[in-house]
């Protein structure tokens, strides 16, 4: 069942009207009593929770595939919460095998202890598919075509799983979130520089201690002062300026993924 | 004197609040009686006209340099109205000589008979400097650095002119607007496709009859049906979807630019 998550923001060509919808699927917002002054996205999150959830219940959909674009040069990036990983890791591996021309990376977002807040947290399982770079308000044929191909592959994978196919164990590299780095700013929060040209567009590539991360308006470079290699992701994403995120830091780790046994009952995944 | 043209839209990270400011500097809007219900940009255009004009009077500033970004892959593009051309052509030529690493093209916008409407039409002379590609809400260090370098070169040129330097005649290629091409749409105005991958990002490159310009969502290609080579500009610019412009068509022409004599009076250009 396809759903346009935020029709008002889509019509206005903005990420959101009142607050970021994809941070609003917490039990606090979903269970709050509706009032006429609610932010648009709180009302919409409650509607989507009725349609696709309710979150945390048996009636919830099995799987939500959440489609996104970013201004960052992420290429094909699947964002998976750590708790969802075995099924999602097999899904990512299937995409890699089916689409060798499209490097597809899995970014594991571990919110460790905090409550989940994204739309795909409403269903029992789910994943977010990010494609970039694409500016807001622009439809690029190349990214649109990639998105269509990838959605087709994901539906194929779910269909095979539903038909009872088992998937063997494998090893793969994934990127696990470590934290975030803000832009250089004044005490008042104004930017004093932006992402360094040597870092810009280099999502998922190694950043070594001592390499430049920001170019200040004064002309000076700001160097990365960490102790080890990290892999920046969502570098210079437009929607993250207000979240004080110039890029996310991740570590690349090798994971052994156990086999996914074939379904034996009549239960199937419904996307 | 630096001026932020549209502070409310800048704060909201949008092109405009109520209507496109850079289409609002007509005598009709500039001379209309203010009312409390005026669109924000009409009020702002009148303020800027008081500050930098009034348009069409001797008190108006000599020159406005209007700085822009675009999501299109224009590189460095100077937009000049045909009536302004001798001074602006020398300015463009100076930038080309001073910045050989930055291909700088002049796009001559001929509104032939219609009233001028851009902010630089308020001053006696003026030019618009476009840099792309850059998404809205993102500051790329490479484009910011280019913009700073180019503004410096333009101020140098004006300073040399003000000091009485004469500039010799030369020949150059410029791009002259021919018209615009809309996206493929349904009768209701919804998109049925987008810019073809072979055209996307190829601003200022020759488009030959029979080459693809759009990729329909059905998978079909739409081919260019003109009779001769044109040079598309502002391909897939986010702000132009609502103006029914997928790209502008231009012709490349060779122009002979006469010498610009040195100033002899005490009058100087004030940017």
Tell me, what's the ipTM? 0.91
Nearest CB neighbour to B136, from listed A133, A141, A238 = A238
- Cα separation of A206 and A173, whole Å? 14
> What pLDDT, on a 0 to 100 scale, did the predictor assign at position B271?
64
Q: B124 is written with which tokens?
A: 């006696």
- Check A135 against B194: CB less than 8 A apart: no
> What pLDDT, on a 0 to 100 scale, did the predictor assign at position A86?
87
Percentage helix, strand, coil for chain A under 3-state DSSP, each rounded to 5: 25, 25, 50
Exactly one of A41, A81, A130, A237 is catalytic; which is it? A130
CB of B10 less than 8 A from some CB of A: no
**Active-site residue A211, yes or no?**
no
Burial B91-128 (b: 16+ CB within 10 A, else e): bbbbbbebbeeeebbbbbbeeeeeebbbbbbbbbbbbb
> What pLDDT, on a 0 to 100 scale, did the predictor assign at position B28?
93
- Cα separation of B233 and A182, whole Å? 35
> What pLDDT, on a 0 to 100 scale, did the predictor assign at position B265?
63
- Cα separation of B46 and B43, whole Å? 5
Phi and psi at B150, nearest 5°, equal -70, -40
B241 interaction partners in chain A (CB closer than 8 Å): 137
CB of B32 less than 8 A from some CB of A: no
**Confidence (pTM):** 0.93
Q: Which of B133, B141, B152 to mutate to test the interface with A (most CBs of A within 10 A)?
A: B141
CB of A194 less than 8 A from some CB of B: yes
A93 is in an annotated binding site: no
Taking the CA atoms of chain B, what radius of gyration do you get in angstroms?
20
- pLDDT tens digit at each of 271 positions of chain B: 999 999 999 998 889 999 999 999 999 999 999 899 999 999 999 999 999 999 999 999 999 999 999 999 999 999 998 766 789 999 999 999 999 988 899 999 877 778 889 999 999 999 999 999 999 999 999 999 999 999 999 999 999 999 999 999 999 999 999 999 999 999 999 999 999 999 999 999 999 999 999 999 999 999 999 999 999 999 999 999 999 999 999 999 999 999 999 887 655 666 6
> What pLDDT, on a 0 to 100 scale, did the predictor assign at position A118?
92
Element (H, E) at A148: helix A141-162
Neighbour-count burial of A35, counting CB atoms closer than 10 A to its CB (0-12 exposed, 13-18 middle, 19+ buried): exposed
Give strand ranges (E) for A52-169. Answer: 63-69, 75-81, 104-109, 125-132
Distance from CA of A61 to the nearest CA of B (A): 29
The residue in chain A having the minimum alpha-carbon distance to the alpha carbon of residue B193 is: A141
B196-246 pLDDT per residue, tens? 999 999 999 999 999 999 999 999 999 999 999 999 999 999 999 999 999
Nearest CB neighbour to B138, from listed A139, A140, A236 = A236
| Strand A221-223 to A212-216 pairing | antiparallel
Count how many pairs of residues, chain A against chain B, have C-beta atoms within 8 Å.
75
CB of A202 less than 8 A from some CB of B: no
CB of A243 less than 8 A from some CB of B: no
- pLDDT tens digit at each of 271 positions of chain A: 999 999 999 998 889 999 999 999 999 999 999 899 999 999 999 999 999 999 999 999 999 999 999 999 999 999 998 766 789 999 999 999 999 988 899 999 877 778 889 999 999 999 999 999 999 999 999 999 999 999 999 999 999 999 999 999 999 999 999 999 999 999 999 999 999 999 999 999 999 999 999 999 999 999 999 999 999 999 999 999 999 999 999 999 999 999 999 887 655 666 6
B168-179 pLDDT per residue, tens? 999 999 999 999
Q: Is the CB of residue B91 less than 8 Å from the CB of residue B140?
A: no
- Check B140 against A236: CB less than 8 A apart: yes
The residue in chain B having the minimum alpha-carbon distance to the alpha carbon of residue A195 is: B141
> What pLDDT, on a 0 to 100 scale, did the predictor assign at position B267?
58
Neighbour-count burial of A228, counting CB atoms closer than 10 A to its CB (0-12 exposed, 13-18 middle, 19+ buried): exposed
Tokens 């039409």 found at: B121
CB of A143 less than 8 A from some CB of B: no
> What pLDDT, on a 0 to 100 scale, did the predictor assign at position B198?
98
Q: Is the CB of residue B224 less than 8 Å from the CB of residue B93?
A: no
- Cα separation of A108 and B96, whole Å? 47
Q: Is the CB of residue B192 less than 8 Å from the CB of residue B217?
A: yes
Beta-ladder partners of B198 = none
- Check A135 against B238: CB less than 8 A apart: yes
């Amino acid at each position: 069942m396809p759903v346009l998550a935020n029709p008002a923001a889509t019509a206005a060509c903005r990420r959101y009207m009142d607050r970021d919808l994809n941070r609003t699927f917490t039990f606090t917002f979903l269970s709050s009593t509706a009032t006429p002054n609610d932010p648009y996205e709180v009302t919409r999150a409650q509607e989507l929770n009725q349609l696709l959830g309710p979150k945390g219940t048996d009636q919830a959909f099995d799987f939500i595939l959440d489609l996104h674009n970013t201004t960052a040069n992420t290429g094909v990036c699947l964002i998976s919460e750590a708790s969802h990983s075995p099924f999602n890791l097999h899904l990512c591996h299937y995409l890699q095998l089916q689409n060798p021309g499209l490097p597809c990376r899995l970014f594991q977002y571990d919110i460790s202890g905090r409550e989940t807040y994204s739309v795909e947290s409403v269903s029992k399982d789910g994943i977010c598919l990010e494609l970039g770079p694409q500016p807001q308000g622009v439809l690029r044929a190349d990214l649109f075509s990639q998105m269509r191909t990838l959605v087709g592959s994901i539906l194929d994978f779910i269909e095979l799983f539903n038909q009872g196919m088992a998937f063997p164990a494998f090893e793969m590299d994934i990127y696990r979130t470590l934290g975030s780095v803000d832009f250089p700013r004044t005490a008042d929060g104004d930017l004093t520089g932006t992402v360094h040209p040597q870092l810009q567009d280099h999502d998922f590539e190694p950043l070594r201690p001592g390499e430049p991360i920001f170019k200040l308006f004064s002309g000076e470079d700001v160097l990365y002062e960490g102790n080890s290699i990290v892999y920046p992701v969502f570098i210079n994403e437009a929607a993250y300026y207000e979240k004080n995120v110039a890029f996310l830091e991740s570590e690349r780790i090798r994971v052994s993924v156990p086999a996914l046994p074939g379904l034996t009952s009549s239960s199937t995944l419904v996307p």
